[in-house]
Structure 1
Amino acid sequence: MTGTAAEATGTAAEPGTTAELAPGVVIPLIGLGTWPMTGEEASDAVARAINHGYRHIDTAENYDNEEAVGEGIRRSGIARGDLFLTTKFNKQWHGGTGVREAFGTAARRLGTEYLDLFLIHWPNPAQGRFVEAAAGLTRLAEEGLIRCWGVSNFKPAHLRELQAAGLEVPVNQVQIDPEHQQLDQLAFHREQGIVTAAYSPLGRNGGFLSAPAVTSPAEEYGKTPAQVVLRWQVQSGRVAIPKSADDRRQRENLDVFGFALTEGEMAGIDALETGAPPRLDSDEFGH
């Protein structure tokens, strides 16, 4: 097979712009989120983002846009080995040979022979098969079909179940923004060496973007409030996956590595935490 996971090395990245998930597997700290874009909107946004410099694209089976994302990648002309591609699969594939089938289906839709990162989208604990699903992912990684595996929306209790089965999770993609920091979740990730990937990193209503803790650094550094929040995410060591189909915002979201927030500025954004839980409870919701 050509272009296998083992052969994918990607392009050299600037220091401080990536995180290591596993030996030889680095993920760009800023990725393009693609939900809820579909069809031509998704293809066009992905192609333009790659041409703006994005090297990390995030999608999922449930977004119903994997084929469109694959088309955008092809349209961009980028070499597959220069791109970090993440997707996620649903609960119907948990257990048995399902994970292998999920990979084959996702790879066909995306038009790729391998995935850089394949995630269990939700734990669905009532179904009780996410440990089996994670074990299936490790087998795909051993065979070189995926470069790395991980999970999304897993609480510490779910992660402990995986650890009890001898499965060490490299990355967990969860909702993190200044008002929803999930402090216990982040603390567990730090203690266990799990990389945090933040989805909805700019929130959903954007209210905190007008807070002085965000607007003051924005004025100081000549950046937008959104750039300041994304800088807070990556400076905290997190991967951030903002969605945008707008050229200007795509460029701005990627341009967060040329400045640094002070400890006081970081603490000011940290203080915006409200203690509110994530939008969806992964003990109850899942697909």
Structure 2
Amino acid sequence: MSTVPRRRIGTCGPEASVLSLGSWHTYDRMDFADAVALVRRAVDLGINLFDVGVYGFPGHPPVFTDVLFSAIVRAAGIARDDYLLSEKLWLEGYPEQPLRDQLERALFRVGADRADLVVLGDIRRADLDLRRLAADLADLEAAGLVGCWGVNNWSATSVRTLRDHALEAGSPGPQLAQLKYSPCRRSIPDGEPFAALFSEGISLQASDVMEGGILAGRATPTREIGRDPGGIRDQIMAAAKGLAEVAADLEATPAQLCVAFTLAHPATCTVLFGVTRMRQLTDNVGALALLERVGAERLRELVEPFWADRDAVDPEGP
């Protein structure tokens, strides 16, 4: 029986499960049969959004997690129409490397002919041509290669600028902002600049909600974790013990507390996390019951003392 509800991405995106599975450092660390069973169980629970971007870069060791996903869904008997595929498009080589070329290679690797959602990677250069980028994205939508698109860790101003250019190009514009969000990293998703964008229909996809496992109880993560805006990771590691105590008082796990907190944001359409074990998936799904039992307002009050980036990060975003 499906237990994971769905919310619309933006104003014109598809209905996505409020929990979504990422592939960064997951399937390539798992036994194949275990991965098949996990993805099959996720779909049976109602999870329909899978982020399977290509996370390898020139000069780095080759990665295959997206290629594995194509085999996993086939072995699990999951039809393409039964899940939403989210891809990443990286901007480091753009526009010399056209978006279409990059996307077609990514789709070839994952065995699909379209992406239901595309998320643009971080802006790392001051001269990025947002008008041209918006036009290229509109072309991908018109060609049927992309259903809708969003951005990953952009500033609110850049999101608004890109949206204006997209509307001029005939695209609905970004439907989603993927942002780091956890009880410790709150300044950007909870800030006024993004609140204005959320009020205008852009959705929030919460990512890195457990800080690479630190907030779930792993004091020494065994895999690469994301960037550390504000240089607050030491404070986050210190906060993990207190969050675990709050979770215990609620008869919940720290992971459930983190996921439930991010779901409490009114703009959240989906929370993205990676799991490599069935018990992690089951545990994270339990966050839905925790949120219903405790309530959004109370959860936010309980984790208020652990807000580590309050004065360390500009709410406008990078």
Do the aligned partners of 1:115 and 1:145 also contact (CA within 8 Å) in 2?
A: yes
CA–CA distance in structure 2, aligned partners of residues 240 and 42 of structure 1: 25
Cα 1:92/1:228, change in 2 over 3 Å = closer
- Count the aligned residue pairs: 268
Alignment partner of 1:200 is 2:208: yes
Identity fraction in percent: 18
Partner residue of 2:256 out of 227, 234, 252: 227
Superposed, 1:255-266 pairs within 5 Å as 255-259=286-290, 260=292, 261-262=294-295, 263-266=297-300
How far residue 108 of structure 1 moved from its aligned partner, in angstroms, is 0.5
CA–CA distance in structure 1, aligned partners of residues 31 and 103 of structure 2: 21
Unmatched 5+ stretches in structure 2: 57-62, 168-172, 216-236
| Cα shift readout 1:135-180 (whole Å, capped 9, x = no counterpart) | 3222222332221111111111321321342443211112111111
Do the aligned partners of 1:61 and 1:90 also contact (CA within 8 Å) in 2?
A: no
Do the aligned partners of 2:27 and 2:276 also contact (CA within 8 Å) in 1?
A: no
Q: CA RMSD in A?
A: 3.0
Do the aligned partners of 1:198 and 1:240 also contact (CA within 8 Å) in 2?
A: yes
Do the aligned partners of 1:20 and 1:26 also contact (CA within 8 Å) in 2?
A: yes
Query: Which deviates more, 99-108 or 267-276?
Result: 267-276
CA–CA distance in structure 2, aligned partners of residues 228 and 90 of structure 1: 31
Alignment partner of 1:254 is 2:281: no
Do the aligned partners of 1:17 and 1:257 also contact (CA within 8 Å) in 2?
A: no
Secondary structure of the equivalent of 2:303? helix
Q: Which amino acid aligns with 2:123?
A: P
In structure 1, the partner of 2:222 is none
Q: TM-score, normalised by structure 2?
A: 0.73
CA–CA distance in structure 2, aligned partners of residues 85 and 241 of structure 1: 13
| Cα shift readout 1:16-42 (whole Å, capped 9, x = no counterpart) | 542333436122121112212353638
Superposed, 1:73-92 pairs within 5 Å as 73-92=73-92
Q: Which amino acid aligns with 2:151?
A: V
Q: Which amino acid aligns with 2:210?
A: L
How far residue 47 of structure 1 moved from its aligned partner, in angstroms, is 2.5
CA–CA distance in structure 1, aligned partners of residues 275 and 183 of structure 2: 19
Cα 1:41/1:257, change in 2 over 3 Å = same
In structure 1, the partner of 2:276 is 245
| Cα shift readout 1:227-280 (whole Å, capped 9, x = no counterpart) | 1221111121422111110110112112322342332232222442122657xx
Secondary structure of the equivalent of 2:30? helix
Q: Which amino acid aligns with 1:244?
A: V
In structure 1, the partner of 2:192 is 187
Do the aligned partners of 2:85 and 2:117 also contact (CA within 8 Å) in 1?
A: yes
In structure 1, the partner of 2:302 is 268
Query: Which deviates more, 187-196 or 143-152?
Result: 187-196
Q: Which amino acid aligns with 2:21?
A: L
Cα 1:166/1:15, change in 2 over 3 Å = same
Cα 1:28/1:191, change in 2 over 3 Å = same
In structure 2, the partner of 1:106 is 106
Do the aligned partners of 1:94 and 1:130 also contact (CA within 8 Å) in 2?
A: no
CA–CA distance in structure 2, aligned partners of residues 61 and 131 of structure 1: 25
Q: Which amino acid aligns with 2:37?
A: R
Do the aligned partners of 1:120 and 1:151 also contact (CA within 8 Å) in 2?
A: yes
